[in-house]
Each structure stands twice: as C-alpha cells, then as structure tokens.
Structure 1
C-alpha cells in the first residue's frame, strides 16, 4: 500500500474529499489506485502542504529582513559539539537527564557511603532505569522493579528523590541510591507521558493518554516520604501532549503559578489557575489565522531558563517540525521557525533550551539534533551521530559547563560537550 505521504495518495484524497467524483474515478483508473489505498488520515493534505510552503517562504523572508541580533541574543559560542559515547549496550532509549544525585562512592562495596555528584539517568524500552557517573561513564545502578513497563518520563526532585512516570500509568517517587519506592500513585489508566514540577516544588502535574491531567500539591516533611495531594483533574476530548507551569507577578508583588496544557488535534494552549480551584482562564491559538485544514498541536513546551517568561514550543506539523516562541500568558507569536527536522504523525517532538537562553535544541527522525538561534529562528548548529529517531534529549549545565545528552532508537547515548574529553 502506498505511504500516506505518496503524492498520488494525497491528490486522490483531495479529489475524494472535495467530491470530484468523475475526476477521481479517472485518476484511480489511470494509476490503478483502489479505494482502500486512500486513507482517512488528514495529517498531510494539499492544503496543509501549501500552507507549510507559504509559512516557510514568510519565515525565510523575515529572516532575511531581520537586523543582525545583539551579541547577547545571538547563538552563544562555543556550543557543545564534541561527542563521547556511553559504552554500555542498551535497548531503545526513551529518556535522558543529568542531575546531581547522592550515590554510593563505591560500586563494589554495598556498605560504602554516598557522595553527591553529577549522574546521567537513562530509561530504556526494557523498562530499566540506569544511572551512570557523568565523568567516568561507570554504570552505578540498574533498576528494573520501579515500573512494570517502560519509563517514559523522569524528573529529579532533589539529590535523594526522583519522580518517574511509565507506560503502566503509575507515578513513582524513588531513592536513586537504593531504588526504594517511597511514593506510588496509579491515577492514570493509560500511558503517563508528561510530568511537570513547579520551580518551587509546590506543584506537580501529570498528563496521560487516558485524556486526563492530574494536578497535585507537593509537601516534603522533615521526616517520612514526600506527600502528594490531588488538587484536581482535567479531562480532555483528546490526549494531552505537553504540560508546564508558568509564572506571573501580581499587583501585590507575589508570584502566582499557572498550568499550561496542549492536546492532540488542537492548536490551542490552555491556561489554568491552580488556586482556589483548578479552572481554565485563558486559551491561546498557535494558528491565529485559523486555517481549518492546518491541524497540529504543541508536542513539547519549555520555559526559558533566564527570565522564565517565554515559552518555546515544537509542533506536530508534518513533514517538518516547527518551533514557536511566545510570551507566556500572551498569544502573540514572537517566532515561527521551520526547524527542517523531519517527522511524521507518530513522532515524539522534543525541545530543550540552551542554559543561557540563546537557542534551543530539537530532535528529529533523521537522527540529527538541530540548534536554533532564538533571536533569528535560524538553524545554526547540527549534532550528528544517531541513526534513526532521537527520542531523548537533555541540555543543561554540569559544574559550570554546558552539555547536551541525546539518546535514540539506535540504542546509543551521546554526550556532547564544549571541550574534548
């Protein structure tokens, strides 16, 4: 059967959907196309292709017209580009993160004390969580018991507590040095695909493919396990894809925390107040021209690391991902950039900020990691290693140095640094 992006299939679907029946029959006869070869999937249509081309031309024109950015706004140099590979044989990589953890000082001595040091956390399709020393790449721990299925999301609360979400729908808090599970919730009955934690660690939100988002308050007592208390639940007509906490300063000078959610088949971002009740108070359209044939959603959302007021979003658009920059709480799109990252309707789009805020990194189905300068929207750097889809992506600082860590379905982990090891 022809692929859904086959040009003949796209034309046939256009003829069928617009009731050009006689032309359609002649077209099918000329090419030998059967009715069951024309899918109902509308993620790629003639209209959407034309719209993508129009937006691409517009973006290129804007880039050519833009004044050269100030040095502080330009893509920061140097950027990570020296590659090292973790030596361990692995399964498909689902998630990576770097964080300071309290881990045993000796791999071989169970009674050894702990020390806090940077570690690479990796989750894989075999449901394992692996923890590596960042500098030596030594495998410190392997856990298979934390979830009964692969772990899709991982966040670090502090050096002794990590939070994971899995395909089993469970939200788990565990101790990285021992693997002890201290908190376990089963509020989702399908995949838990997103965990968001507020910067003050007072709120947690989880998004699942049961079309629900749960929001909790988080308390960390002086003794005993962390306590999660549910504030409320949001139910959507389609699966949520991204969730993030954003912040606004009130007239009294106090900072309020709000939740932003995106969902499949919707170009809107949905804003929610947390107190006194979990309630929607605004929605902002990422497709302000409201072209009904252009259907996409924000697949990943990240808040800028310096001012915490700009939202970066990557979209589900096919055949190429788009990056959008907007001011949190405002529906004005500041940048609408074509990343050139190929993807399809089943891709997992990921984006992460560079620590100084000069750019973002995004993944792609061709194995490339692309760096985009935020001030211009131009693709400025490419990290080449992986074969095939890259699903895991991290960017941050380790001991004052910028690093990027990537993992793909080629079963490898690459660590990108500014200096050669």
Structure 2
C-alpha cells in the first residue's frame, strides 16, 4: 500500500531513529515503504533533497556540545506521577505559572486558557480551584507572571497588559502593543522598585516602572460602583519608560541582575537571530526607599549581544524561543530553540557586556589607544567567538519533535537539577543538564497533542517539587514526586 506520510514526516522518522550510518534508501526498504515514499505532490521533496537534509543534519552534530555519560545533573526523586487538578477547563491551555508572596510555601498555580480566563489553583493535593476570572481580557491570555505581594500580570492576543491583585481584582490595564503581547516578565531594581517588560508581535518591547507604593497603600473605599472590567487604580502601570523596536518579532525575555554592579538587565531573544541582546536599566534620578516611584526616571541602553552559535553556519541556524534562568545560578540560562525537525537545548552562561557597545554597528568599541587594523579586528572577532563558545555548556538535540508553528518551552527544576521541555507529540522530556541526555519521559497528555506550556515549582509546604503542564488537549496535569 502506498505511503500516506509526507516527505517531512518520513525524514523526521528517519532522523529520530538515529540511523546516522544508514542510507535513506536502506531505511525506506527496512520500513517497508515504497521507494517514492513521501513524494505525493508535484514540487514535494525528492529523495535527493531528503539525502541532502540528512547530510546537513549530520554536519550539525559537529556543533553540539555534550557532557559525559554520567547523569550528574539530574537528582532523584523527580516529578513523574500525573494528577489532574479539580479545575474545569473548556478550551486549550495557553499558559501555566506560579505566584506567591516571595516564599515557596505561599505559592499558587495560575492557569490561562483560550477562553480569555485565568484561574488560581492550590498547590496542595487535590489541587483544587481557589478562584477564577472568566473574562480577564477581551482576548485569549497568552502570558502570565507575578510580582511580590501576589500581584499578577497578564498579556493577551489583543496586545493588552493587565495588573490584578492577589484576589483577582483588576487594578490597572493598558494596551500599548498593536497585537499579540506574547510575553511578560517582571523584576526588582536594587532598591526594590518594580520593572515590567512586555514583548509583542508588533516588533516592540515595552518597559514599565509601575508605582509599587501606590498599589501597596491603596484603600479601595468608595469603589464598589466599578464594574469588574474597570481598573481600581487607573494609571498604576504608567506609560512605558522605554520602547525597544527590533527588526523581527521578540520571542523571549528575562530580567537578571549583574553579579557585580547589581544593575538590572533585560535579555531579549528575537526571531531568526541566534543572539541574545542585553539592555541595561538604570535610574537617572535618585532611587531610594523614601522616594516615590513617580519621581524616579530610568535609562534603558543597549549594551551588547551574545551569539549562541558563534561558529555556526546556515544548517544549524535557530531561534532562541524560550529563555529560563537557573534558580540556583542566576547567570546560567537554559534556551529552548525553534529548530526543525527537533528542538535543540542550549545551556549557556550569560556574558554581561564589559566594553562600550555601538548598536549601530553591532560591535564593541575598540580602545582609543589601540590601533585599529584589519588584523586586530580579526583577532578581536576570533577572541569573542571563542569566549562565546566557551560560555555554552550544553548544546544538544532533544529529539522533541517540532513544526514551524511550535512554541518551545523550557523550565528548570526548582533545585536547578535539570530541565523539562515540551513537544508537539504530547510528551514531556526531562534533560540532564550535565550530560545532555533525555533521562525522563512523562506521558499523560493525548498522543500527538501539543504540550503548550510548563511550570516547575513546589508543592504546598515547600518540600516536594512539582511540574505543571498544559496543552491543546484541554488538559492540565500536575506531576508529583511518586512517593510509593
């Protein structure tokens, strides 16, 4: 019987089988497929094209970095038992996250779905529903994050940013993105001021400095006449302190502090670029515990970039689609990439810029006392490549299948012992960040469904770790440590 699989599916099966030393023709024969398998449409891949793809895949293996065969980065016990929380879900799950008062014992689980709602779930068995907002936004909620004190930030497909209180009351909202606000992150300056950044598919990144004191001291007396969709504290989010315009859509962001200066940096990845871009956020007015946020102004300056593929070429190109900071080492970053046919995972140490950076030329300025010659520029470029290459601790293929429409996700285990990644086959994989090996396979979502989002945190009491997953099978699972 003729094969109904497309050429892309067949080559993915071939690569997944790890037949690195076997010809594609032999694989076709062994699988019982006709010699023209996958060639169903005029203009579809030919056998020659598939063989060329195989050669490029083999070449890309030379750029991978792996550890030894010992699983030193994966501790046991690890989450492996799936529990379905007592939460009614009627649509695809878009985001899961955690929110607390700054202590892991106070953590709650947040779930957003395509029906424009989000829910608060207890982190204790049986993971019951604590509360929900049926229409948190006017469109599906794509991302959710939290600030100290239980404040909740969320963004939607319409480009809106909303700030809710710990009990779900809308405090403020704004719409500065033209469409698809896909990511929101938050952090604190050295004096505890709020900084919030949103990324949208309008090729914009907006940075906000909300008035944290106003939110903390606000007393909602006489506000009972407000509707649920009217903000309690209009203007709390304020206008963006800075807007970054990028050539392609931003994909992911993290807010981290410099280990020496304690300056706050926004690290951004964007589509079709293998670089991380660094933006330093510094106050231009006095920032002290006694001054109001409205009196503080900030400067946002692009300070440098870091290549995640310093010695690569066309066939290993990828987009860093999800960035996750290690909870035990804030200078260590896990990167899930949009790479076909399988996700690549990169673990890299952040290289905070040390020289003056010229964003117009994308290069670091050379000291005035140093003569600039083609030879010196070549040596400097090579030295930079070697430094960027040394910063990459792990660069491996996870064999997690992806398509051009995938949304790669990676989360660290809360103790920093390995990461979990999603996939489009309904499977969650645990990866040892020392050896690069897939050491855990978690199956509960429907086979072949997209696992859209992941969150790793603590069960109530802070003693056992959990993993929360949500997918396009309209299900959420809390993965517990199996104590039996």
In the TM superposition, 1:332-411 aligns within 5 A as 332-387=391-446, 388-398=449-459, 399-400=461-462, 401-411=464-474
Change (3 A) 1:279 1:416: same
Task: Report SS of the residue matched to 2:240.
Answer: strand
1:7–1:215 distance in 2 versus 1, CA, 3 Å: same
Query: Partners of 1:363 and 1:147 in 2: how far apart?
Result: 26
1:327-369 alpha-carbon deviations (Å, 9 max, x no partner): 1116331110211111111000000001111100100001111
Secondary structure at 2:55 match in 1: helix
Deviation at 1:219, TM superposition (A): 3.1
- SS across alignment from 1:52: helix
Partner of 2:311: 289
Shift of 1:182: 0.8
- Mind listing any 5+ residue stretches in structure 1 that lack a counterpart? 9-27, 39-43, 103-115
Q: Secondary structure at the match of 2:209?
A: strand
Q: Distance in 2 between matches of 1:94 and 1:323?
A: 22
**Structure 2 CA distance for aligned equivalents of residues 323 and 186 of structure 1:** 33
Tell me the equivalent position of 2:145: 155
From 234, 257, 265, the equivalent of 1:247 is 257
SS of the aligned residue for 2:419 comes to strand
Deviation per CA, 1:187-245: give whole Å up to 9, x if none.
10110011111255631111000011111223311423554452211111211100111
Normalising by the residue count of structure 2, what TM-score does the alignment of the two structures yield?
A: 0.70
Q: Name 1:111's counterpart in structure 2.
A: none
Which one of 259, 269, 280 corresponds to residue 276 of structure 2?
269
Deviations along 1:244-282, whole A, 9 cap, x unmatched? 1122233xxx31111111111111111112235322221
Query: What is the DSSP-based 3-state SS (H/G/I as helix, E as strand, rest coil) of the residue aligned with 2:440?
Result: strand
Structure 2 residue 211 is matched with structure 1 residue 219 = yes
Q: 2:245 aligns with which of 223, 231, 235?
A: 235
Q: Distance in 2 between matches of 1:301 and 1:127?
A: 25
CA deviation vs aligned residue, 1:274-303 (integer Å, no higher than 9, x gap): 235322221122222241344321000011
Q: Relative to 1, partners in 2 of residues 1:309 and 1:318: Cα closer, same or farther, differing over 3 Å?
A: same
Question: Stretches of 4+ moved more than 4 A in 1?
Answer: 1-4, 44-49, 57-60, 225-229
Q: Separation in 2 of the partners of 1:120 and 1:88? A: 11
Q: 1:304 aligns with which of 312, 316, 326?
A: 326
- C-alpha separation in 1, matches of 2:40 and 2:94: 41
The structural deviation recorded for 1:2 is 8.5
Q: Aligned to 1:126, which of 89, 102, 115? A: 115
1:144 paired with 2:154, answer: no
Name the SS for the 2:115 alignment partner. Answer: coil
- The equivalent of 1:195 in structure 2 is 184
CA distance in 1 between partners of 2:161 and 2:50 (Å): 38
Q: Where do 5+ consecutive residues of structure 2 fail to align? A: 12-35, 219-232, 285-298, 353-387
SS of 2:405's partner is: coil
1:25 is matched with which residue? none
CA contact (8 A) 2:208 2:239 kept: yes
Q: Is the 8 A contact 1:246 1:328 kept in 2?
A: no
1:182 aligns with 2:245: no
* C-alpha contact (below 8 Å) 1:188/1:210 kept by paired residues: yes
CA distance in 2, matches of 1:256, 1:374: 28
In the other structure, the counterpart of 2:94 is 94
For 2:338 and 2:79, how far apart are their aligned partners in 1? 27
